[in-house]
Chain A
Amino acid sequence: MNLCTDQLAMMVAGEGQLLSVSNMASDPRSSAMVSRAAAYLTNHGLAEEIYLMQPDLVLAGNFSAQATVDMLRRLGIPVAVFNQAYTLEDVRDRLTQMGDVLKQQDQAAMLVAQYDAQLATYREDVTLRPRAALYYANGYTAGDKTLAGQILTTAGLFNIATEAGFNADGIIPMEILVMAQPDTVITSRPYPGASRSEEVNAHPAIEALRRTRPDAALTSSDWVCGTPFVLQAISDMVDLRRALQANTP
């Protein structure tokens, strides 16, 4: 009943072990496993529908609605709660935890090994780090204590949010962002239907920053959850870094 546990479960679970995933798992904007999610029943994270499925175990995130989790427990259904991943290390731990919970330790261990091996290939020494800024709707940015911040740093980019004093998520004033003179601004992919919150990404000051830089980078569903898909995000960012470095001799 949580986007991230859904994806971890789909990776780790054995044949017939997983019954239903949340509707978020089929949303191409958030989920990296849309096609695989189609093979399962869809739930909307509501206690009533989940209870009627009579599962042996419910997998929830620590940001899932607490009232729903409590009610399912009252109804006698065990709920395993997974904390949100804030670091690249957390991804391994969540995979292992999912393996333990679903009694698929071997499958989880294999995924962890693959993950570690691939992650190691990205950890090369970068002497010249291009300056990058994460800039989401409403002016949110992410510092080094977040998954997105770690993706940037691992890919050899310098996150200007750390320079501005952000550790976790926070709103960075546009003025600070402009004064920091990032080499690239990474924004989120806009949702359908307009919103004022996303307008900041089209602000003339941000456009001016982008004008002379390579194509604006966008975060995708690979960034959302602490799953091995973050490797894809890192790889995209490595490509961006190479493009930036090719552009500025």
Chain B
Amino acid sequence: MTRLGLFLSAFVAVLFMTALVIGPANIGVAQSLKALVAGGEGPMTLVMREIRLPRALLAMMIGAALGLAGAAMQGYLRNPLADPGLIGVSGSAALGAVLAIQTGLAAAFAFGLPLAALAGAVIGVFLVMALAGPRGSSLTLILAGIAISALAAAFTSLVLNLSPNPFAANEIVFWMMGSLADRSMTHVWIALPLIVLGSIMLLSLSRGLDALTLGEDAAAAMGIGLGRMRLTLIFGTAAVIGASTAVAGAIGFVGLVVPHLLRPLVGARPGRLLWASAFGGAAMVLAADIAVRVILPTRDLKLGVVTALVGAPLFLHLIYRTRRDAV
């Protein structure tokens, strides 16, 4: 377990450094790191501190948030298909964020944007859990997720199309696919508090999730309050997904892929899977963001495109396996 932890954190650190030294402007590795740490006047410091650093930080934060939320939902619902993107939580968070931007709430005060996305996400998680039920089958869960995603996406498109701003309609793709292009430290600061808060809530579920593998009755006998767990899960997930989506759009499949890959490595214990998935998610989003910059540096390829290309085949594989297990 500590070996895995060391490996994952080293992996994230390497990817973080790579993300910092890769970019369209050709700056040497040593030079760029010197500009980042030592500072000084000149464009290089500006590029490193105001453009690349926030981008790499956001990739790491958002990846960790998505991985953690995926692992927590999968553990609680005991369903490997639960991913915040797939079940419509990211979509409803995006709707909340779009409403905040278009109504001017986001401009009115600093945390307007992430809090509105949080509200959207709370409604999303709540609806999904209500529709699918605590022990709902995979099918109900996915169907509820599709319905909520479709509805949230339709409202998002409607709001953006009604906007008087001609650019707004073009942004539908950003909210659906997610991107980290041209984000700034401002975005780091508005997302960070909610991501930290939500992560603490989700990590506190660790013991409860382990107990839950023995069944609800056994968990209750061990003194685990299921009602409280459920509330913590809803608000924790909504906080991390809301904050992430507010600044980077809906990035799908990270919460699906990462827990799936790491589950065998932590001995299938959902409690341990939580922190492992946070590191794994950070690594995946950092890698995906490096990929979009290496493949098409000038085109702003959306992050969600890369994560979906990796995640969707795995999703199909999981559906296939779920079906095989059912028969």
User: Which residues of A pack against B, CB within 8 Å?
Assistant: 137-139, 170-176, 178-181, 191-200, 203-205, 208-209
Contact indicator A195/B171 (Cβ below 8 Å):
yes
Nearest chain B residue, comparing its CB with the CB of A136: B167
Known interface pairs A171-B299, A173-B25, A173-B298; A179-B44 also in contact (CB < 8 Å): yes
Is B140's beta carbon under 8 Å from chain A? no
Contact indicator B165/A175 (Cβ below 8 Å):
no
Name the A residues within 8 Å of B107 (CB-CB): 194
**CB-contact partner of B51 in A137, A178, A197, under 8 A:** A178
Known interface pairs A178-B43, A196-B174; A205-B102 also in contact (CB < 8 Å): no
Name the B residues within 8 Å of A137 (CB-CB): 167
Most chain B CB within 10 A, of A138, A170, A173, is at A173
Contact indicator A205/B47 (Cβ below 8 Å):
yes
Q: In chain B between 247 and 303, which residues have their CB closer than 8 angstroms to a CB of chain A?
A: 297-300
Instruction: List 25 A-B residue pairs with CB atoms under 8 Å apart, sorted by A's residue number.
Output: A137-B167, A170-B298, A171-B299, A175-B24, A175-B47, A175-B51, A175-B52, A178-B43, A193-B102, A193-B164, A193-B165, A193-B168, A194-B104, A195-B167, A195-B168, A195-B171, A197-B167, A197-B168, A198-B165, A203-B182, A204-B184, A205-B46, A205-B47, A205-B51, A209-B46
Interface string of B92-116 (1 = CB under 8 A from A): 0000000001101011000000000
Name the B residues within 8 Å of A191 (CB-CB): 164-167
Name the A residues within 8 Å of B174 (CB-CB): 196
Is B170's beta carbon under 8 Å from chain A? yes
Cα–Cα, bound, A196→B179 (Å) = 11
Most chain B CB within 10 A, of A172, A191, A194, A203, is at A194
Contact indicator A171/B300 (Cβ below 8 Å):
yes
Cα–Cα, bound, A207→B254 (Å) = 34
**CB-contact partner of B184 in A181, A194, A198, A205, under 8 A:** A205
Is B210's beta carbon under 8 Å from chain A? no
Interface string of B29-67 (1 = CB under 8 A from A): 000000000000001101100111000000000000000
Is B185's beta carbon under 8 Å from chain A? yes
If over half of A's interface residues share one DSSP class (helix, strand or loop), that class is named, otherwise mixed; here it is helix
Nearest chain B residue, comparing its CB with the CB of A194: B101
Contact indicator A196/B298 (Cβ below 8 Å):
no
Number of A-B residue pairs at CB separation under 8 A: 91
Is B193's beta carbon under 8 Å from chain A? no
Is B186's beta carbon under 8 Å from chain A? yes
Contact indicator A204/B50 (Cβ below 8 Å):
yes
The distance from the CB of B234 to the nearest CB of chain A, in whole angstroms, is 28
The distance from the CB of A181 to the nearest CB of chain B, in whole angstroms, is 5
Is B137's beta carbon under 8 Å from chain A? no
Cα–Cα, bound, A57→B58 (Å) = 56
Contact indicator A192/B298 (Cβ below 8 Å):
no
> What 9 additional pairs, Cβ within 8 angstroms, besides A173-B298, A194-B106, A195-B101?
A139-B300, A175-B51, A176-B24, A194-B107, A194-B165, A200-B182, A205-B51, A208-B50, A209-B46
Known interface pairs A194-B107, A200-B182, A204-B185; A176-B43 also in contact (CB < 8 Å): no
Name the A residues within 8 Å of B184 (CB-CB): 203-205
Name the B residues within 8 Å of A174 (CB-CB): 51, 182
Contact indicator A181/B43 (Cβ below 8 Å):
yes
Name the A residues within 8 Å of B298 (CB-CB): 170-173
Cα–Cα, bound, A54→B47 (Å) = 58
Contact indicator B23/A173 (Cβ below 8 Å):
yes
Contact indicator A175/B23 (Cβ below 8 Å):
yes
Name the A residues within 8 Å of B52 (CB-CB): 175
Contact indicator A179/B171 (Cβ below 8 Å):
no
Q: In chain B between 181 and 232, which residues have their CB closer than 8 angstroms to a CB of chain A?
A: 181-182, 184-186
The distance from the CB of A84 to the nearest CB of chain B, in whole angstroms, is 18
Nearest chain A residue, comparing its CB with the CB of B44: A179
The distance from the CB of B180 to the nearest CB of chain A, in whole angstroms, is 12
Most chain B CB within 10 A, of A178, A181, A198, is at A178
Cα–Cα, bound, A47→B46 (Å) = 51
